[in-house]
């Protein structure tokens, strides 16, 4: 049987399983039914679209004018060389947003990504093949590496690069894979609760857990725009507060809660006549009432939760002001003060 609740069940467990150096699984639970996908889907979008990484954005090869040219002594033509270069993943060592690196190779050599390591950049994909040159070859080239997010096609980069450079499609995101699965789980005899299992893999530029944290930060930043709503005047006229259903519930007599004689008598001796007086109390204050036992405390708190105003309820300041005023008027009318 489904229980009536007045607030969302908050997930409180998170586990991280390291699959390998650049891959983790993250387990988060338990979510109420339907809320797991609400959280997981935007996080996946942000993992793939908001994580910053480095990519080659431009290439200049000595003696080459365009990407369909060839280089004397190099097995690969320029277009294939560019394709291989796109697979190289860099990190700029001083974490700046842009770096230009120059290279020069002569004689027979199979150039791998590890050969592109320099004082300026670190290569995180060292074993990727780049090009093969013969014993008579002499190849000089320069690359521009930039930091960014998402994907930027070469056409959009051309206006920002020098004329002698060839623009390269830039795939910045360091996240190779970001998928999630939602599993049902049992919580307090309820089998409809949910667990999110994220599977995240990066290319080595950043650890997968860091990518996950950055996605969470990005989500918080995107949602923060709605916090500005507190600056918008959405106040309710005091007359509307006074005549609201919520106010009527709070101003009812504690007799209407249907409490046991023991609990009611304890409140009566403490001169607590109205529901509002209980809701405005803290748990410590309620427990501190003379002769109020554990069972009576549990009964009272359960009754208050069932009407939506548990002990220690956080009232809106304006509503609270009207409530106190109405409570004072009611006590005066009934001769309670």
* 164, 207: one domain: no
The pLDDT value given to residue 234 = 47
Evaluate whether residue 219 is within a structural domain.
yes
* 43, 61: one domain: no
Evaluate whether residue 8 is within a structural domain.
no
* 188, 127: one domain: no
Per the CB < 8 A criterion, the answer to whether 6 and 305 are in contact is yes
CATH of the domain at 166: 2.170.120.12
Centre a 10 Å sphere on the Cβ of residue 113 and count the other Cβ atoms it contains: 20
Evaluate whether residue 2 is within a structural domain.
no
Global confidence as pTM: 0.62
* 318, 278: one domain: yes
Evaluate whether residue 280 is within a structural domain.
yes
The pLDDT value given to residue 303 = 83
Tell which of 171, 198, 213 closes a domain.
171
* 37, 65: one domain: no
* 61, 38: one domain: no
Query: Which residue, 92, 145, 87, is CA-closest to 122?
Result: 92
* 187, 88: one domain: no
The pLDDT value given to residue 248 = 81
Q: Which domain holds residue 182?
A: 13-51+175-225
The pLDDT value given to residue 337 = 58
The two structure tokens encoding residue 110: 């199979």
The pLDDT value given to residue 306 = 80
* 44, 185: one domain: yes
* 149, 293: one domain: no
CATH of the domain at 179: 3.30.1360.10
Total domains in the fold of the chain: 3
The pLDDT value given to residue 131 = 92
* 264, 217: one domain: no
pLDDT tens digits, the chain, 337 residues: what are they? 566 667 777 888 999 999 999 999 999 999 988 899 999 999 999 999 888 999 999 999 998 888 888 889 999 999 999 999 998 999 999 888 999 999 999 989 999 989 999 999 999 988 889 999 999 889 999 999 999 998 889 888 877 788 889 999 999 999 999 999 999 998 888 888 999 999 999 999 999 999 999 999 999 888 877 766 555 544 545 555 566 777 788 888 888 888 888 888 888 888 888 888 888 888 888 888 888 888 888 888 888 888 888 888 887 777 788 888 888 888 777 776 5
Evaluate whether residue 277 is within a structural domain.
yes
Dist CA 289 CA 277 (whole Å): 13
């Amino acid at each position: 049987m489904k229980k009536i609740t007045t607030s969302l069940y908050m997930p409180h467990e998170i586990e991280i399983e390291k699959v390998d150096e650049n891959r983790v699984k993250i387990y988060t639970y338990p979510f109420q039914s339907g809320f797991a996908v609400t959280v997981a889907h935007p996080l996946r979008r942000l993992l793939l679209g908001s994580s910053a990484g480095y990519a080659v954005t431009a290439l200049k090869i000595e003696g080459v004018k365009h990407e369909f040219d060839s280089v004397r002594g190099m097995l690969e033509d320029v277009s294939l060389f560019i394709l291989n270069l796109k697979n190289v993943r860099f990190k700029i060592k001083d974490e700046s947003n842009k770096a230009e690196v120059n290279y020069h190779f002569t004689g027979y050599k199979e150039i791998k990504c590890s050969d592109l390591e320099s004082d300026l950049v670190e290569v995180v994909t060292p074993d990727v093949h780049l090009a093969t040159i013969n014993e008579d070859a002499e190849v000089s080239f320069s690359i521009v590496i930039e930091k960014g997010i998402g994907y930027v096609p070469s056409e959009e980069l051309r206006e920002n690069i020098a004329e002698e450079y060839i623009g390269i499609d830039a795939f910045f995101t360091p996240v190779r894979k970001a998928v999630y699965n939602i599993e049902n789980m049992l919580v307090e005899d309820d089998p409809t609760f949910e667990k999110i299992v994220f599977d995240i893999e990066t290319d080595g530029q950043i650890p997968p857990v860091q990518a996950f944290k950055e996605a969470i930060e990005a989500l918080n930043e995107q949602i923060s725009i709605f916090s500005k709503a507190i600056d918008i005047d959405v106040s309710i006229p005091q007359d509307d507060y006074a005549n609201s259903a919520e106010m009527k519930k709070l101003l009812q007599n504690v007799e209407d809660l249907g409490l046991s004689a023991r609990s009611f008598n304890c409140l009566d001796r403490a001169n607590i006549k109205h529901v509002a007086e209980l809701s405005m109390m803290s748990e410590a204050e309620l427990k501190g009432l003379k002769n109020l036992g554990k069972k009576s405390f549990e009964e009272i708190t359960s009754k208050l939760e069932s009407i939506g105003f548990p002990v220690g309820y956080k009232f809106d300041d304006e509503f609270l002001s009207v409530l106190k005023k109405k409570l004072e008027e009611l006590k005066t009318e009934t001769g309670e003060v």
